[in-house]
Amino acid sequence: MKHTNSQPDHKKRSRGFTIIEVLVALVLLSIAVLMTIELTTQNQEALSMTHLQDTATLLAREKLFELEQDGLSASTGKSGDFGSANPGFTWEAQAHSTNRLNSYRLELIVTWGKEKKRHVTLEKIFTE
């Protein structure tokens, strides 16, 4: 006598996932996790760059104010750094003549970064 199972074939297979389905799900999940990590890393780099650019802009404004207080002339040409409080940031100020009589343009450049040189430039028009 032959013994047969009373359950249909489609019910036997619906008990769980096949190994292929599990592997596909793991691959998709892995890709999603790797993309999330990559995006987070890029976000951190952008945030760091924004912070450095904000710092450079503030330093440039402070230096421009300091140069104004010391007195500027059409022959102004100075450079330096911001000391140990802001390592890696340097500045250069240069006066340029303009088309207007007794006026000149002061260009102040703050630079930072070793591998990729970055800079912020402020310009202001002065009269003597």
Count of C-beta atoms within a 10 Å radius of residue 110:
28
What is the reported pLDDT for 5? 59
Matching residue, tokens 């006066």: 95
**What average pLDDT values come out for the chain (128 residues) when binned by 10 residues?**
57 76 95 96 93 95 90 80 92 88 89 87 87
Q: Is the pTM of this model over 0.85?
A: no
Domains of the chain: 20-127 (2.20.25.110)
What is the reported pLDDT for 97? 82
